[in-house]
Structure 1
């Protein structure tokens, strides 16, 4: 009898232990599931966290969205006030850029320059193309396609590749530098200055391009800053967006508008922005650095504004901060699909009615450009409208 009682107690203890073990596993499993879900929710585009989504951004948003943490509840009014206060603090502070550039005749010495590029006539459009020194194939592809002067015959068109110095290649007798000098003598479209050409110096590169325009080509009607891996329909840009038949606009800035984005606070991210460097929890409206267009007078205004704003390595955000300092709001393009900071699947119909598409190899650029030139007049009767928009939204699972 005692043995049975002990056996019964032992079985009961085993059952209780088993139930406890199962319960712990369920709790841990639920915690792991919630943590994974939270991780997915926070898996936003590495450069930005999304604070709010407007109707336009929801239609073509390729950044993922993030909800505000519940541990820090704020009313929308308080949140906006906090963001504005932080922005005022940042814009009111003088930073490294002013110390680095102010009162210098040339912020960085020119290695290669084209001082006489705009002497004969002020161009209708200046293309500032950010490119790395060793990307000669990309430069040649652009010269053959959207950067060719024939796209704006008679209007005045200037193509400039802006670049710095590749690390370890500063010597004037290095093979890369000799190659750049020979390329410059052949095409006269390279502006090179003595700063290290790197991702973290993209802001410097862009500002130096604007500085060049303000000094050597101040009468240009319009300027476009873009990158060397872009497809740019310059003909459509000139004829449809800028329109040479009307007087040039002033204080004009447009592109793919980025609204309501906040700094990336992940310390392990390449795009980390510390609260000490940028205290506001929201960026002002800016345009994607893949391609934006502005009136010629803005080059001097933006460069001048940058002299009193601490430098940030995110070039497009920084230009947006300069615009905020100037109290100039970027203008939405007339069609929300004109500027694209992602790769748009190619068709002659779509590409005959857009301005930018991202991530092109030089060989792809030449192939698609040649096809577009052969088919642009018969590509499609009407530009892509509602049906195409619905298809794009479905592809992004927004409908």
Structure 2
């Protein structure tokens, strides 16, 4: 009799527990729409990570724990593979952390050299090349590149002059295909592994140094310029012939400039990137000339230097550290000038030039009917 009472009590307790379990599962059935198949204990809190909106506003700075190099797993599916031209289609990478970061942790070496005509741009490692002109350009600036190709880039046909554009990677698949086609036709676009953006101009400069160090180490001079700049190549070659210095940078030199600390400014530099009150003398990034003997030093040392997002300031820090001579040359202009034939012929570079204006300047430079004193 006692055994029957114990068994009866056990059955009743089991039925009551089952009833409570059914009611409890009714309220914890799912999170995010997916059935929960595991037991939820009392007083246990599950922390669900929230992906906050980026404050990046289009900055595509690479690598570090927050940047391109850290996205290796993702990039396996983004880089072109055999028979598939895949690209990154995700949004911008996060900003750099608020502390100094060595450039080597940000910069990803290498280039997409498949369609580049290296032999024409810099044959024999630059042994017979007097001047290599590298033009930084943005992906969407097709018209600017075509204007340059139709005008002063014609001097790239000389045996002693090589000219090419420098770009980074794009997150736009259709634009990536357009760039592939453009480079297939012209073979003059060096493309690095960084995301192409204003914030990454320093990475673009390092990329052109790396490419030169790898493929054109014997070139005598390198001009770095932008695609909104007109270059008077004959005047530049005359300038080179009149200067036989070593370990030197020539350009429009600015001294005693102070950093902008307000984020609203385009040239904003935070204290953790550059802590000084005054910048070292620097050549404006629109156009400056390097002697070939400093390229390797600049590239290697750049990777061991803390990153600064303003490329001309970053270069100035390298130049100061390596004790490279920096020389002001009055024929390098950082602004617009009147488009007069004799004025154009006496300068090396003119900045802030629109695509259609390049043709006008080129025509006036080549006009043999105008005689200048």
Aligned to 1:110: 112
Q: Is the 8 Å Cα contact of residues 168 and 192 (structure 2) preserved in structure 1?
A: yes
Q: Which of 282, 288, 293 is the equivalent residue of 2:289?
A: 293
Deviation at 1:257, TM superposition (A): 0.5
Deviation at 1:118, TM superposition (A): 2.4
Taking the aligned partners of 2:176 and 2:372, their CA distance within structure 1 comes to 45
Taking the aligned partners of 1:273 and 1:247, their CA distance within structure 2 comes to 34
1:182 maps to 2:187: no
Q: Which of 337, 355, 359 is the equivalent residue of 1:362?
A: 355
Q: Is the 8 Å Cα contact of residues 100 and 307 (structure 2) preserved in structure 1?
A: no
Aligned to 1:33: none
CA deviation digits over 1:214-255, x for unaligned, max 9?
11000001000000001111111102x101xx7954212100
Relative contact order: is structure 1 or structure 2 higher (C-alpha 8 Å, sep ≥ 6)? 1
1:306 maps to 2:302: yes
Taking the aligned partners of 1:114 and 1:100, their CA distance within structure 2 comes to 28
Aligned to 2:240: 242
**Displacement over 4 Å in runs of 4+:** 111-115
Q: Is the 8 Å Cα contact of residues 323 and 329 (structure 1) preserved in structure 2?
A: yes
Structure whose alpha-carbon radius of gyration is higher: 2
Q: Is the 8 Å Cα contact of residues 221 and 248 (structure 1) preserved in structure 2?
A: no
Taking the aligned partners of 1:316 and 1:148, their CA distance within structure 2 comes to 27
Taking the aligned partners of 1:345 and 1:247, their CA distance within structure 2 comes to 27
Residues 207 and 369 of structure 1: is their aligned pair in 2 closer, same or farther, counting only changes over 3 Å? same
Query: Which residues of 2 match residues 272-287 of structure 1 at below 5 A?
Result: 272-287=268-283
Residues 276 and 118 of structure 1: is their aligned pair in 2 closer, same or farther, counting only changes over 3 Å? closer
Deviation at 1:119, TM superposition (A): 2.9
Residues 177 and 274 of structure 1: is their aligned pair in 2 closer, same or farther, counting only changes over 3 Å? closer
Q: Is the 8 Å Cα contact of residues 153 and 163 (structure 2) preserved in structure 1?
A: yes
Deviation at 1:109, TM superposition (A): 4.7
User: What secondary structure, in the 3-state scheme, does the structure 1 residue paired with 2:360 have?
Assistant: helix
Q: Is the 8 Å Cα contact of residues 285 and 329 (structure 1) preserved in structure 2?
A: no
Query: Which residues of 2 match residues 29-44 of structure 1 at below 5 A?
Result: none
Deviation at 1:364, TM superposition (A): 0.9
Q: Which of 334, 341, 349 is the equivalent residue of 1:348?
A: 341
Question: 5+ unaligned residues in a row in structure 2: which ranges?
Answer: 1-98
Q: Which of 143, 149, 166 is the equivalent residue of 1:137?
A: 143
Residues 280 and 247 of structure 1: is their aligned pair in 2 closer, same or farther, counting only changes over 3 Å? closer
Residues 348 and 236 of structure 1: is their aligned pair in 2 closer, same or farther, counting only changes over 3 Å? same
1:380 maps to 2:372: yes
Residues 94 and 263 of structure 1: is their aligned pair in 2 closer, same or farther, counting only changes over 3 Å? closer
Taking the aligned partners of 1:224 and 1:153, their CA distance within structure 2 comes to 16
Task: Name the TM-score, length of structure 1 as normaliser.
Answer: 0.64
Count of aligned positions:
271
Aligned to 1:61: none
Taking the aligned partners of 2:339 and 2:311, their CA distance within structure 1 comes to 28
Deviation at 1:189, TM superposition (A): 0.7
Deviation at 1:359, TM superposition (A): 1.1
Aligned to 1:252: 248
CA deviation digits over 1:173-195, x for unaligned, max 9?
x3322222222122211111222
Taking the aligned partners of 1:94 and 1:199, their CA distance within structure 2 comes to 19
Taking the aligned partners of 1:197 and 1:276, their CA distance within structure 2 comes to 23
Query: Which residues of 2 match residues 87-166 of structure 1 at below 5 A?
Result: 95-101=101-107, 107-110=109-112, 112=114, 113-116=116-119, 117-120=121-124, 122=127, 123-149=129-155, 153-154=158-159, 156-166=160-170
